[in-house]
Chains A and B, each alone.
Chain A
Amino acid sequence: MLEIDYKIIRDEKDERKTYVPEDPAIQKMNGPIVCFQAPNGMGKSTLLNIISAALYGHRDDPTAHRISPTLQNKIKWLMERKDQKLSYELSLTSPDGKTQLISRKGEGDNDVSVEEIIDGKRQCLPFPIFKEKYFLIYEIPENPVEKLKDITTEVLTKQGDYLSKLKDFRTYMSDIQNEIGKARDEDKITSVEGELKELKQELESLNATIASTDDKLIILTKYYNLRGYRDYSTKVLELNQKIRDLKVNGATEIVKTKQKTIQSNSQRRAVEIEFNDILNNLTQIKEKMSIINSDEIERINPKLTSVLNLKLNQILETHIIDRENISYVLDYLEQMIIKHQDEDELKNAVTADSFYNDIIAILEEYESRNVSIPGITSSLSDLIQLLNKEIKKNNGYVKISESLIKCQELITLIRSSLTKLKTNLDSLKIVEANLSSLDNTDEEISENNKKDQYSEQIKTKKYIRDKYKAVLEESGIDKADFEDMDNIRSALKKLEVDHPEYKIIFQQDEDEFGKIISQLTDDIKKQKDNRDSKKKSFTRKEGLLVDLQSAKPHKYQIYSNVIDGLRNVAEGLDADLIRFNKTIEKIKSDDLLKSEEDIHYNDCISRYLAKRIPQFPYNGIFYEPTKIDLNKKIIYTTTGKEINTSDISTGQGMSMYIHSLLASDVDYNRERKYIVIFDEAHTMDRKSFLPIKNELIKMNNNNQLMFALFVKPNSDYIRVLDLV
Chain B
Amino acid sequence: MIDDEEILETETLAQLLTELLGDPKEKRLLELLSKGYSHEDILEKLLSEFGGKE
Contacts from A to B (Cβ < 8 Å)? 155, 158-159, 162, 165-166, 168-169, 172-173, 176, 556, 559, 562-563, 565-566, 569-570, 572-573, 576, 580, 597, 600-601, 604-605, 607-608, 611, 666-667
- A-B pairs with the 10 shortest C-beta distances? A562-B51, A172-B39, A569-B25, A573-B26, A604-B16, A165-B33, A667-B11, A559-B51, A608-B16, A158-B13
How near does chain B come to A664, taking the closest CB pair, in angstroms? Answer: 10
Given the contacts A168-B39, A169-B39, A569 and B47 also touching, CB distance less than 8 Å = no
Residues in B with CB closer than 8 Å to A611 are: 12
Instruction: Provide the bound-state CA to CA distance between A126 and B15, in Å.
Output: 35
Instruction: Provide the bound-state CA to CA distance between A570 and B28, in Å.
Output: 11
Q: Decide if B8 is an interface residue (CB 8 Å cutoff).
A: no
The main secondary structure of chain B at its interface with chain A is helix
Contacts from B to A (Cβ < 8 Å)? 11-14, 16-17, 19-21, 23, 25-26, 29-30, 33-34, 39, 42-43, 46-47, 50-53
Instruction: Provide the bound-state CA to CA distance between A159 and B33, in Å.
Output: 11
Instruction: Provide the bound-state CA to CA distance between A601 and B16, in Å.
Output: 9
Is the CB–CB distance between A573 and B30 below 8 Å?
yes
Residues in A with CB closer than 8 Å to B11 are: 158, 667
Is the CB–CB distance between B21 and A576 below 8 Å?
yes
Instruction: Provide the bound-state CA to CA distance between A563 and B42, in Å.
Output: 12
Is the CB–CB distance between A566 and B25 below 8 Å?
yes
With contacts defined as CB atoms under 8 Å apart, how many contacts are there between chain A and chain B in the complex?
Answer: 75
Instruction: Provide the bound-state CA to CA distance between A570 and B50, in Å.
Output: 14
Residues in B with CB closer than 8 Å to A556 are: 43, 47
How near does chain B come to A604, taking the closest CB pair, in angstroms? Answer: 5
Is the CB–CB distance between A608 and B26 below 8 Å?
no
Is the CB–CB distance between B19 and A576 below 8 Å?
no
Nearest A residue to B11 by beta-carbon distance? Answer: A667
Given the contacts A165-B33, A176-B43, A600 and B26 also touching, CB distance less than 8 Å = no
Residues in B with CB closer than 8 Å to A607 are: 16
Is the CB–CB distance between B13 and A155 below 8 Å?
yes
Is the CB–CB distance between A601 and B29 below 8 Å?
no
Given the contacts A172-B43, A559-B53, A562-B47, A604 and B29 also touching, CB distance less than 8 Å = no
How near does chain A come to B37, taking the closest CB pair, in angstroms? Answer: 10
Is the CB–CB distance between B17 and A169 below 8 Å?
no
Is the CB–CB distance between A608 and B47 below 8 Å?
no
Instruction: Provide the bound-state CA to CA distance between A580 and B21, in Å.
Output: 11
Residues in A with CB closer than 8 Å to B14 are: 162
Residues in B with CB closer than 8 Å to A605 are: 16
